Amino acid sequence: MRWANARPPLLLLGAAAVGAFLVLLPIGLTILRATEVSGGQAAHFLLRPLVGTLLLNTVCLTAVSSALAIVVGTGAAWFVERTRLPGRQAWAVLLAVPLAIPSFITSYAWISISPALEGFAGAVLVVTCAYYPLLYLPVAASLRNLDPALEDSARALGCGPVVCFVRVVLPQLHPALLGGTLLVALNVLTEFGAFALLRFRTFTTEIYIEYRASFDGATGSLLASILIVLCLFCLMAELRIRGSARYGRIGRGVRRPASLHELGQIKWVVVALLAALVVVTTGMPLITTLYWMTQHGAAAITPAEVSPALLTAATLSSLGYGLGGTLIAMVLAIPIGFLATRYRGRTVTLVERTSYLTQGMPGIVIALAMVFLTVHYLHPLYQSSALLILVYGIQFLSLAVVGVRAALAHAQLGLEEAARSLGLNVFQVAYRVMLPLAGPGLGAAAAMVFIAVVTELTATLLLAPIGTQTLATQVWADTSTLAFAAAAPYAAIMMALSLTASWLLARQFGQSRVGDPAQSHQPSQISDRTAPVA
Amino acid sequence: MIDLTVSNLKKTFGNRTILHAIDLTVSPAHLLAVLGPSGSGKTTLLRLICGFERCDAGTIRIGDEVVARPGLHMAPERRRVGYVAQDGALFPHLSVRENIVFGLSRTERRRGIRANELLDLVGLPQAYADRAPYQLSGGEQQRVALARALAPQPQLVLLDEPFSALDAGLRAETRKAILEALRLAKATAILVTHDQAEALSLSDEVAVLLDGNLAQVATPATLYNKPKNAAVARFLGETNLIPGLIQGRSVDCALGQLALSSELPAGSGEVLIRPEQIRIDPCSEGTSLPATVTAIDYYGHDASISLRMSDLDLIARVSGPLLLRVGQQVGIAIEDPVRAFG
CATH of the domain at B325: 2.40.50.140
Q: What is the pLDDT of residue A523?
A: 35
- Spatial separation of the C-alpha atoms in residues A415 and A411, rounded to whole Å: 7
The CA distance from B125 to B138, in Å, is 16
Last residue of a domain, one of B234, B263, B280: B234
Alpha carbon distance A158, A152 (integer Å):
10
- From chain A, pick out residues whose CB is under 8 angstroms from the CB of B81: 156
Residue B166 is assigned to a structural domain of this protein: yes
Note whether B106 contacts A: Cβ–Cβ < 8 A: no
Domain count, chain B: 2
- Separation CA A223–CA A47 (nearest Å): 11
- Closest CA–CA distance from residue B88 to any residue of chain A (Å): 7
The reply to whether B83 touches chain A by the CB within 8 Å rule is: yes
Q: Identify whether residues B31 and B12 lie together within a single domain.
A: yes
Same-domain pairing of B104 and B18 = yes
* Cα–Cα distance measured from residue A336 to residue A26, given in angstroms and rounded to the nearest whole number: 19
- Give B108→chain A minimum CA distance, Å: 14
A452-466: average pLDDT: 87
B253 and B210: one domain? Answer: no
Domains, chain A, ranges and CATH? 23-247+268-291 (1.10.3720.10), 322-461 (1.10.3720.10)
In angstroms, the separation between the Cα of residue B305 and the nearest Cα of chain A is 34
The residues pairing with B33 across neighbouring beta strands, listed in sequence order, are B191, B206
pLDDT band at A215 (very low <50, low <70, confident <90, very high): low
Whether B113 and B260 map to the same domain: the answer is no
B168 belongs to a structural domain? yes
| pTM to 2 decimal places | 0.79
Inter-chain contact A160–B92, Cβ cutoff 8 Å?
A: no
- Structural element, H or E, at residue A153: helix A148-156
Distance from CA of B73 to the nearest CA of A (A): 14
Q: How many inter-chain contacts (A to B, CB under 8 Å) are there?
A: 98
B249 in the same domain as B193: no
Residue B230 shares a structural domain with residue B248: no
Type and span of the H or E element at B81: strand B81-84
Q: Quick check: is B297 in a domain?
A: yes
Q: Is A7 helix (H, G, I), strand (E, B) or coil?
A: coil
ipTM (interface pTM): 0.78
> Cα–Cα distance between A169 and B93 in angstroms, integer?
10
Pairwise CA distance, residues A188 & A207, whole Å: 15
Quote the pLDDT of residue A529. Answer: 36
Q: Are strands B189-193 and B81-84 parallel, antiparallel or unpaired?
A: unpaired
Residues B254 and B229 in one domain: no
Q: Tell me how far apart the alpha carbons of residues A529 and A401 are, in angstroms, rounded to a whole number.
A: 11
Pick from B176, B200, B234: which residue ends a domain?
A: B234
Mutate to test the interface with B, among A150, A157, A170 (most CBs of B within 10 A): A157
Task: Look at residue A410 and tell me whether its pLDDT is greater than 80.
Answer: no
> What's the pLDDT tens digit per position in B234-253?
888 888 888 889 988 888 88
DSSP at A3: B
Dist. CA B212–CA A249, nearest whole Å:
31
Q: Which of A344, A314, A421, A406 lies closest to A5 in space, CA to CA?
A: A344
Q: Where does a domain end: B210, B234, B258?
A: B234
Structure confidence at residue A93 (pLDDT):
84
Q: How far is CA B33 from CA A318, B200, B226, B262, B327, in A?
A: 69, 8, 17, 27, 41
Burial class (CB in 10 A: 0-12, 13-18, 19+), B90: buried
Question: What is the model's pLDDT at position B207?
Answer: 94
- Measured between CA atoms, the residue of chain B closest to residue A158 is B77
Query: Measured between CB atoms, which of B81, B93, B94 is closest to A156?
Result: B81
The pLDDT of residue A303 is 55
pLDDT of residue B85: 87
What's the confidence (pLDDT) of residue A310? 81
Secondary structure of A20-74 as H, E, C letters = HHHHHHHHHHHHHHHHHCCHHHHHHHHCCHHHHHHHHHHHHHHHHHHHHHHHHHH
Query: Is the four-CA dihedral A469, A475, A480, A485 of positive or negative sign?
Result: positive
Co-location of B262 and B291 in the same domain: yes
How far apart are the C-alpha atoms of A228 and A238, rounded to whole Å? Answer: 15
Q: Is residue B167 part of a domain?
A: yes
The closest alpha carbon to B77, from A266, A331, A160, belongs to A160
The alpha-carbon gap from B146 to the nearest alpha carbon of chain A, in Å, equals 11
B76 and B199 in a single domain? The answer is: yes
Burial of A302 from C-beta contacts in 10 A (0-12 / 13-18 / 19+): middle
Residues of A in contact with B101 (CB under 8 A): none
Residues of chain B found within 8 Å of residue A153, distances taken between Cβ atoms: 83, 85, 89, 91, 145, 148-149
Say whether both B107 and B208 belong to one domain. yes
pLDDT cut 90: percent of chain B above it = 20
Q: Indicate the residue type of A207.
A: I
Residues B269 and B192 in one domain: no
Q: Which residues of B touch A252 (CB under 8 A)?
A: 87, 138, 165
- What is the CATH classification number for the domain harbouring B210? 3.40.50.300
Does B239 reside within a domain? Answer: no
Q: Inter-chain contact B90–A259, Cβ cutoff 8 Å?
A: no
Distance from CA of B163 to the nearest CA of A (A): 10
Are B304 and B322 part of one and the same domain?
yes
Interface test with A, best of B79, B83, B118 (most A CBs within 10 A): B83
B165/A253 Cβ within 8 A: yes
Which of chain A's residues have a Cβ under 8 Å away from the Cβ of B118? none
What Rg, from alpha-carbon coordinates, does chain A have? 24
- The verdict on residue B293 lying in a domain is yes
Inform me whether the pLDDT recorded for B145 exceeds 70. Answer: yes
Q: Which of A389-403, A454-468, A495-509 has the lowest mean pLDDT?
A: A495-509
With bands split at pLDDT 50, 70 and 90, how would you rate the model's confidence at A311?
confident
Instruction: Quote the domain boundaries for residue B210.
Output: 4-234
> Are the beta carbons of B188 and B122 closer than 8 angstroms?
no
Q: Which residue in chain A has the smallest CA separation from B50?
A: A156
